[in-house]
Chain A
Amino acid sequence: MRNLKIEAVEDEFYIPSVDFDATTGICELSGESYIEQTDEFYEPLLDWLREYMSLPGKSITFNLRLAYYNTSTSKKLLDILQLLKLHQQKGFKVTFNWFFDTEDVDIEEDIDDFREITGLNINMIDNSIS
C-alpha cells in the first residue's frame, strides 16, 4: 500500500498538508484547513484510512496539527474520528493526538465535542512542547 502525501498550499486558501505512512501507521494532518470542497479533499484521505484498516493487524497513530479549520472541515474530522473509533472497536490499537495551543479555548471545546460524539480518547498535547 502506498503512502499518502499532500503538500500544504497557502495560496489555495489553506489546504492542509497530509502525510499518511502505510508502513508505520503514523498519519499526520497539519496546517490550516479552510477548504470549501471538503469532499474532494477529504474523501481520498478517508479512502486511504479504510484501505489501511482493512489490512491485517494495523495499528494507527493519528497526529492532528490543524491550527485553523472551518465547520465544513470539522465534519470531515468527525468522519475520520468515527472511522478510527470503529477500528478501535474491532480490537486494533488507535492513538489520536491533537496538537494545539492550549490557550485556544475554541479548539478545546471542539475536542470535547468530538470526544463526546465518538467516544474516542483524544490526547490533548500543547503545541509548544511538540
Chain B
Amino acid sequence: MKQEFENEKLKDIFDFYRKSILIAYQGTFDKRVLSVMAKNIEVSLKNARLSRKVFRVFVELAQNISYYSCEREVHLGRSSGTGIIVLQEEGDYFVFAAGNKIETSRTEGINKICGIVNALDRDGQKQFKRFQLESPSNEHTGLTQIALLSAGKVQHKIIKLDEKGAFVIFAVRLKK
C-alpha cells in the first residue's frame, strides 16, 4: 500500500525501516560510541557465528574511520575521526557501508590496496595479510581482514570534494 508523507523526514524513517537498517550513525567514532554500537550488534544477532563476523567487520570499519578520517574531534584528550556507518539486512546478506573524509594524498594508497585485495583469491588474501602483519605500518591491514571475514570483495568509491580532500566509501556484504 502506497503511503503519503507530508514531510520527507518521515518518509526517510519509514524507508529506513523498510530497508531493514540495523545501525545508522553519523558522527565521531570515539571509543564510547564504538562500544555501544558493538555491544548492540553482539546482543542483537542470535547466531553466534554470524554475530562474531558482523561484530568483527563492524569494528574494523568503525576503527578505520576513527583512525583515518581527516575530520576529527577531541574528547578527553583523545582524537577520533568522524564519519558515517550503515548496517542493513538485504535478503541473505548483511551489508555494511562506511564513509569518511580523507586527505587527497591517501586516495592513491586506498585504490592500490583495494585493487590488490580484490584481485586476490582467498589464499592470496591470507598471504597478503601475513605480509601486512609483518610490515611496520598498520595501515590497510583492516581492509584485508574485512575481505577475509566477508569472503568477498571490499567495494570502494572515492569522491573528490576539493583540492585537499575527498570522501571515501567502503561497502562489504556478509552472507548470513
User: Are A71 and B60 also in contact (CB < 8 A) when A11-B35, A12-B31, A34-B38 are?
Assistant: yes
Q: Which residues of B are found within 8 Å of A70, using beta-carbon distances?
A: 59-60, 63, 142
Q: B133–A75 contact, CB under 8 A?
A: yes
Q: A36–B53 contact, CB under 8 A?
A: no
User: Are A113 and B34 also in contact (CB < 8 A) when A71-B60, A104-B52 are?
Assistant: no
Contact check: which of A36, A74, A113 meets B67 at CB < 8 Å?
A: A36
Interface 1/0s, chain A 63-88, versus B by CB < 8 A? 00000101110110010000000000
Q: How far is the CA of A72 from the CA of B49 in the complex (A)?
A: 22
**Which positions 47-105 of chain A face chain B at CB distance < 8 Å?**
68, 70-72, 74-75, 78, 103-104
Question: Per DSSP, are chain B's interface residues mostly helix, strand or loop, or mixed?
Answer: helix
**Which positions 9-58 of chain B face chain A at CB distance < 8 Å?**
31-32, 34-35, 38, 48-49, 52-53, 55-56
Q: Which residues of A are found within 8 Å of B52, using beta-carbon distances?
A: 68, 104, 106
Distance in Å from the Cβ of B18 to the closest Cβ of chain A?
A: 32
Q: How far is the CA of A68 from the CA of B52 in the complex (A)?
A: 8
Q: A75–B130 contact, CB under 8 A?
A: no
Q: Which residues of B are found within 8 Å of A75, using beta-carbon distances?
A: 133, 138, 141
Q: Which residues of B are found within 8 Å of A6, using beta-carbon distances?
A: none
B8 in the interface (beta carbon within 8 A): no
Q: How far is the CA of A25 from the CA of B34 in the complex (A)?
A: 35
Q: How far is the CA of A109 from the CA of B129 in the complex (A)?
A: 11
B88 in the interface (beta carbon within 8 A): no
Q: How far is the CA of A13 from the CA of B53 in the complex (A)?
A: 18
Distance in Å from the Cβ of B80 to the closest Cβ of chain A?
A: 8
Q: B141–A106 contact, CB under 8 A?
A: no
Q: How far is the CA of A70 from the CA of B35 in the complex (A)?
A: 13
Interface 1/0s, chain A 111-128, versus B by CB < 8 A? 001001100000000000
Q: List 15 A-B contacts (CB under 8 A).
A: A13-B31, A13-B35, A34-B38, A36-B31, A36-B63, A68-B59, A71-B60, A71-B142, A72-B63, A72-B141, A103-B48, A104-B49, A106-B148, A113-B130, A117-B133
Known A-B contacts: A109-B126, A117-B133, A117-B134. Give 7 more (CB < 8 A): A10-B35, A13-B32, A34-B59, A71-B141, A78-B133, A78-B134, A106-B149
Q: Measuring CB to CB, which residues of chain A are less than 8 angstroms from any residue of chain B?
A: 10-14, 34, 36, 68, 70-72, 74-75, 78, 103-104, 106, 109, 113, 116-117
